[in-house]
Structure 1
Amino acid sequence: MTQTLTPGRWRGLATTSSDDNIFTILAFDQRGSYEKMLPKGTDYDTAVGIKVETVNALAPAASAFLLDPQYGLLPMLATPRNAGILLALEESGYSGDSTYRKVAFYDGWSVAKIKAAGASAVKLLVYYHPESGALAEEIEGVVRDTIEQCHQYDIPLFLEPVSYSLDAAVSKSSAEFAAARPAVVRETARRLGALKPDVLKLEFPTDADFDSDMASGQAACETISAICDVPWVLLSAGVDFDVFAWQVEAACKAGASGFLAGRAIWKEGVVLPAEERSRFLQGTALSRLRRLSEIAGEHARPWTDFYQPILASGTWFKEYSS
């Protein structure tokens, strides 16, 4: 059953997706991880410049760009007029310890400012584990509050829940966590999808280091689509491009509405000298993004399968409130 979207949220999804209503979004909202990738001694202007260069090079193949408030103003202003913009609401990282992760926010940054700055959508990343008890409920409360704010300003929310281990002795990269991961991602999608963010940005449910079988990955993605009443897109989580390409195909064949990916596309370019970086971005990175867009265009489910706009009438504006 389709849900009705208000005009701002409908337009926000339309401007961040392709002509076929598929999300082919380039993410470059990394901050902490980006700083670790940069050569030692890189100054702020250079860090911003690399993001601007990446946006300019990949604009021909992206339906939208996900950027951050810290480094993202100039890249946002550099985007072409036909590309949507998502801005991250959360601060990079988290508060609390590694097994008890809370959302951190910037002082002076808000949904209202994201809307006022001209963005098409808000992105919120939360670290979430469905078995974390009271903390999971607290995170769900943060999500509800953010959804309410997005509805107030009539701007769509892309919600990105990222899993983590609740046991300090069990790494997320371990075989033990990999075995639990499909159930964790599926239950996360069920619980947070029920809160009705406009789009879920999800991890691939299987860990390619332990299960590289596309068929099993697609089956795991199908269980997500079966319980999810909102469109979802796949995040890259820093995996190598060849891995992400088959994950995108599996996810989209299983009902995902596209991808929202960053490091799998551009990560090698960050450390390259300027001329080499330019060639990499305009060659390898652009080819990667185009390939992913082709895969999504062929297999993904349009977000319009989930939503319809409000009915038009001569008096719609009287009832409309944002």
Structure 2
Amino acid sequence: MARNELNTREKRAMAAISTDAGNMLIVAADQRNGMKAVMTDGPDGAVTFEELAAAKADLVRYLGNEASAILLDPEVALPAIPDNGVLSRDTALVVGMDASGFEEVDGLRFTRFVPGVTPQTVLDLGGDVAKMLWYMRSDRQDAASRVGQEIKELVSACEAAGLLLIVEILAYRLDGESEEEYAAKLPELVAGATRVSVECGAKVLKLQYPGSAEACAAVTTAAEGVPWAVLSAGVDHTTFIGQVRTAVANGASGAMAGRSLWKDSLSVNHDVRADLLTNRAVPRLRELQDAVDRVK
């Protein structure tokens, strides 16, 4: 039996964010500063709140509604997108609870909640599922650490609210650590973070690609039956498709893709954006679904 079994309500939510074949497929569009940076008609900071909100609405309209689920933020995208009828009734809504950026304490990174956002807020925004991001160095943090306690607390709060929580974990390079040293440690950092998160009660995980088929299999073992999806982490689409195929072949349960789908399909200009999302991003989504569902 898998650790941290889903209850009936959570199983229904899991089905809502999955393909017909039962694999997770979520378009990530909760980025704020990162999304501004790829709206190529202007540099980060030159995009207004209204322009960013319009881009998010178009991303849902022309791309997200083609997926099982869309991940959106409660600062720019919500509640306007569901309130204005942009979100398809057939596309599940995942609400990101994490604020942009992080604080650093003793060389470790800690994310913050969007102010005032709780599991009840997610439900009030029409969310089917919640998502929270934590940074973790599993070589320095365990279930008894601050990050472990935060995961436990939110898992319990979401369970009490009847809400499925996706726990997203990001490893990162420490100050003074070379890129080569970090790359060598990454497979165990991801597997270690998986073990810690499962120990803290996580029922669904969103994780970095750990680097190889062997590393993916190790993550699956560490997950003890808890489903995990691989995130795109800003790599190009072709690279991500290969990563997803490897991850799924070695136990992953799906993918959550953001920039790999849409980073070169956004524009401040609505007409250009609509064309690129329809004719560039949607075909990528179809290819990603084939990879998730192991269609050859």
Is this a same-fold pair by TM over 0.5? Answer: yes
Describe the SS at the equivalent of 1:132: coil
Shift of 1:270: 2.3
- For the pair 1:283 / 2:284, whether they are aligned, the reply is no
Shift of 1:133: 4.1
Shift of 1:90: 1.4
Describe the SS at the equivalent of 1:5: coil
Aligned to 2:19: 18
Give the TM-score of the pair, scaled to structure 2: 0.91
CA distance in 2, matches of 1:156, 1:133: 24
Q: Is the 8 A contact 2:187 2:210 kept in 1?
A: yes
Describe the SS at the equivalent of 2:195: helix
CA distance in 1, matches of 2:75, 2:160: 24
| Amino acid in the other structure paired with 1:175 | E
| Amino acid in the other structure paired with 1:10 | K
Give the TM-score of the pair, scaled to structure 1: 0.84
Shift of 1:233: 0.2
The correspondence for 1:75, drawn from 74, 81, 103, is 81
Shift of 1:97: 5.5
Q: Is the 8 A contact 2:171 2:190 kept in 1?
A: yes
How many equivalent pairs are there?
A: 286
Shift of 1:135: 9.8
CA distance in 2, matches of 1:27, 1:98: 30
Describe the SS at the equivalent of 1:201: strand
CA distance in 2, matches of 1:202, 1:145: 20
Aligned to 1:293: 289
Q: Is the 8 A contact 2:143 2:196 kept in 1?
A: no
When Rg is computed on C-alpha atoms for both structures, the one with the higher figure is 1
Q: Is the 8 A contact 1:6 1:154 kept in 2?
A: no
Aligned to 1:42: 47
Aligned to 2:220: 225
Q: Is the 8 A contact 1:17 1:64 kept in 2?
A: yes
CA distance in 1, matches of 2:81, 2:266: 15
- For the pair 1:239 / 2:235, whether they are aligned, the reply is yes
Q: State percent identity of aligned pairs.
A: 28
The more displaced of 133-142 and 148-157 is 133-142
CA distance in 2, matches of 1:33, 1:59: 18
CA distance in 1, matches of 2:111, 2:195: 20
Q: Is the 8 A contact 2:210 2:216 kept in 1?
A: yes
Q: How does 1:49-64 map to 2 (within 5 A)?
A: 49-64=54-69
Q: Is the 8 A contact 1:200 1:231 kept in 2?
A: yes
Aligned to 2:196: 191
Aligned to 1:313: none
Deviations along 1:190-230, whole A, 9 cap, x unmatched?
11122232210000002xxxxxxxxxx11210111122120
Shift of 1:110: 0.9
Aligned to 2:70: 65
- For the pair 1:29 / 2:24, whether they are aligned, the reply is no
Aligned to 1:85: 93
CA distance in 2, matches of 1:4, 1:128: 23
**Residue 97 to residue 141, structure 1, CA distance change in 2 (3 Å):** closer
CA distance in 1, matches of 2:144, 2:167: 15
Q: Is the 8 A contact 2:204 2:227 kept in 1?
A: yes
Deviations along 1:154-200, whole A, 9 cap, x unmatched?
1111000100123x1225xx122111111111111111122232210
Shift of 1:271: 3.7
CA distance in 1, matches of 2:161, 2:142: 29
Describe the SS at the equivalent of 2:76: coil
CA distance in 2, matches of 1:238, 1:6: 33
Q: Is the 8 A contact 1:111 1:149 kept in 2?
A: yes
Shift of 1:240: 0.6
| Amino acid in the other structure paired with 2:203 | D
The more displaced of 36-45 and 246-255 is 36-45
Deviations along 1:89-124, whole A, 9 cap, x unmatched?
111111126932112122211111102222111101
Q: Is the 8 A contact 1:181 1:205 kept in 2?
A: yes
Describe the SS at the equivalent of 2:230: strand
**Residue 76 to residue 170, structure 1, CA distance change in 2 (3 Å):** farther
Query: Which structure 2 segments of 5+ residues have no match?
Result: none
Q: Is the 8 A contact 2:262 2:281 kept in 1?
A: yes
Deviations along 1:246-273, whole A, 9 cap, x unmatched?
0000000011111011000000122464
**Residue 47 to residue 182, structure 1, CA distance change in 2 (3 Å):** same
Instruction: Give the superposed CA RMSD.
Output: 1.9
- For the pair 1:177 / 2:185, whether they are aligned, the reply is no
CA distance in 1, matches of 2:157, 2:149: 12
CA distance in 1, matches of 2:25, 2:141: 34
- For the pair 1:205 / 2:201, whether they are aligned, the reply is no
CA distance in 2, matches of 1:130, 1:76: 37
